[in-house]
Amino acid sequence: MWHYLDGGRDTPTGRGNRAALDAHPLLPRPLAEVRGGHTRLELFGETLGHPLLLAPIAYHRLQHPDGESACAMATAAQDGQMVVSTLASQPLEQIARAAEKPLWFQLYWQGSRERTARLLERALAAGYRCIVFTVDAPVKLATSPLPADVRPVNTEPPLPRRLQPDQSEVFDGWMAEAPGWHDLAWLRERVPVPLLIKGVLHAGDAVRAVDLGCDGVVVSNHGGRVLEVAPAALSRLPDVITALGGRVPVLYDSGIDSGADAFRALALGARAVLVGRPYLWGLAAAGALGVAHVIRLLRDELEMCMALCGCATLADISADRCG
Ligand code: FNR
């Protein structure tokens, strides 16, 4: 289970994420007036206490029997937001109830429009307030065997694959079930709430997604778990932000391990960040309290960085505070 969670960190992509964040030192600005400062923000019509969202992660019950519901409770207690994975190990309605506030739902394409629509309708009926469509993982490097009592409870059984001997597992197997741009346009028409696209590194792809009606973009390389030699996600963030020119919020994901990392991504123009593995470490160590503790630690770190760099609000975190 540790291997499953940690996978991707020690790859060129994972190490690149770390190195790119570390390459941006923060510039202290003493004597600034920051009393009354805060980390609040408005995001897709909701006021959040801080910009540290929980990234969608599969199978939380691998780490703790209370699973996704524990993370949902911690999210609400810490006035944040959580993106619940398509591959959650508890019913998405149960997770929604645990949060006592509308969460966001991460959607993976389910191999066909009909199957995808069924999952989407269920998430919308359960009150999820944003849909995050992850597009960067149509091919998996490896699939780990799951223990008997942990499984993706919200998805239908996988479609049977019938490959001819001369067919490719990748092109005719995985990719035959992957979505394309036309599917994104189809999805846009069916999602009545904000729709974000997650897993974009190329500025042209980000522009195309927004042209098709996406309300937000998550710059991410999946924490180094998909293409092991992808560029550091942070290195692509400025290009995407410039290309979009403020049309929609851009969120950053991949390698955020501290409040200083969050500050760095915000300084380069991200509106909020998604945190992945660190909150699962908290879940594994101490359930809901562990997750709440991790969120609080990251938030305290972010507040300290802001105070030391002379930023009273997130809007003050500009590129000139970060080398
Ligand atoms: C993921 N990620 C992921 N993303 C997604 O959209 N749906 C998913 O089901 C999962 N599952 C998943 C499992 C595990 C164990 C990990 C570590 C990651 C990717 C995740 O949302 C996020 O992009 C990365 O975790 C961000 O990197 P850090 O913060 O973990 O470095």
Is 222 annotated in a binding site? The answer is yes
Q: In whole angstroms, what is the distance from residue 184 CA to residue 87 CA?
A: 20
What six digits make up the tokens of 11? Answer: 């790859």
Crossing angle for the helix pair 233-244 and 12-22, to the nearest 10 degrees: 70
What six digits make up the tokens of 95? Answer: 């997770």
Which segments within the chain are labelled E, that is strand? 41-43, 46-48, 52-54, 83-84, 104-107, 130-134, 195-200, 216-219, 250-253, 272-275
- Annotation marks residue 60 as catalytic: no
Q: In whole angstroms, what is the distance from residue 97 CA to residue 83 CA?
A: 14
Q: What is the pLDDT of residue 160?
A: 84
Per-position b or e across 37-47, b if 16+ CB within 10 A of its CB:
bebebebbeee
Which residue has its alpha carbon closest to ligand 1 atom 13? 57
Q: What is the pLDDT of residue 161?
A: 83
Catalytic, out of 24, 60, 64, 222: 222
Q: Which of 225, 257, 261, 298 to mutate to test the pocket of ligand 1 (most atoms within 8 A of CB)?
A: 225
- Taking the CA of residue 17 as reference, the ligand 1 atom at the shortest distance is 31
Complete DSSP assignment for 146-167: PPTT---TTSPPPPPP---TTS
The answer to whether 1 and 62 are in contact (CB under 8 A) is yes
Tens place of pLDDT per residue across the chain (323 aa) = 888 999 999 999 999 999 999 999 999 999 999 999 999 999 999 999 999 999 999 999 999 999 999 999 999 999 999 999 999 999 999 999 999 899 999 999 999 999 999 999 999 999 999 999 999 999 876 677 899 999 999 999 988 888 999 999 999 999 999 999 999 999 999 999 999 999 999 999 999 999 999 999 999 999 999 999 999 999 999 999 999 999 999 999 999 999 999 999 999 999 999 999 999 999 999 999 999 999 999 999 999 999 999 999 999 999 999 87
Pocket of ligand 1 contains residue 214 by CB under 6 Å: no
Q: What is the pLDDT of residue 112?
A: 95
Identity at 219, one-letter amino acid code: V
The answer to whether 244 and 210 are in contact (CB under 8 A) is yes
Between the CA of 224 and the centroid of ligand 1 the distance, in Å, is: 9
Q: What is the pLDDT of residue 209?
A: 98
Q: What is the pLDDT of residue 216?
A: 98
Complete DSSP assignment for 85-100: -TT-SS-HHHHHHHHT
Q: What is the pLDDT of residue 142?
A: 65
Is 56 annotated in a binding site? The answer is yes
Pocket of ligand 1 contains residue 134 by CB under 6 Å: yes
- Taking the CA of residue 14 as reference, the ligand 1 atom at the shortest distance is 31
Pocket of ligand 1 contains residue 273 by CB under 6 Å: no
Pair type for strands 41-43 and 46-48: antiparallel
Domains and CATH numbers, the chain: 2-30+39-142+151-156+168-311 (3.20.20.70)
